[in-house]
Amino acid sequence: VFLLPVFGFIFNRRSTVKLPKIFHPGSTRIRCPRCGWQPAKTDMWMCSPGCGHVWNTFDTHGICPGCDKHWSHTACLKCDAWCQHEEWYEQSQD
Ligand SMILES: [Zn+2]
Ligand SMILES: [Zn+2]
């Protein structure tokens, strides 16, 4: 009797789980999609209309620490344009 080997219980688990992108401060540049202005750590935004809290909106990805309001758009302090918060993040190509 010739027995075929049975591999039925061998799991070929190729990882299809994509790890979330790790935020590297050095590899992501923040700049205004409209005029190219790059905010500094010391630049502040005010939650208005809102709770009036003043903070750097890029520290919290557009979420006000005072009232948890999620600002989907961020105003440029230089050209006054309102752009989607995500558009401010520019991934470097390397
Ligand atoms: Zn701008
Ligand atoms: Zn607020």
- pLDDT tens for 63-94 read 999 999 999 999 999 999 999 999 999 876 65
Distance 11 CA to ligand 1 centre (A): 53
Q: Mean pLDDT across the stretch 7-16?
A: 50
Q: Which DSSP state fits 63? A: B
| pLDDT band per the 50, 70, 90 thresholds, residue 3 | low
Q: How far apart are CA 5 and CA 94, in angstroms?
A: 47
Ligand nearest to the CA of 47: 2
Q: Which DSSP state fits 41? A: T
Q: So what's the pLDDT on residue 4?
A: 62
Q: List the structure tokens of 91.
A: 């991934």
Question: The whole model's pTM is what?
Answer: 0.68
The CA–CA distances, whole Å, from 49 to 3, 15, 66, 79, 86 equal 76, 45, 13, 19, 20
Q: So what's the pLDDT on residue 28?
A: 80
Distance 28 CA to ligand 2 centre (A): 25
Q: So what's the pLDDT on residue 10?
A: 47
Ligand nearest to the CA of 37: 1
Distance 23 CA to ligand 1 centre (A): 23
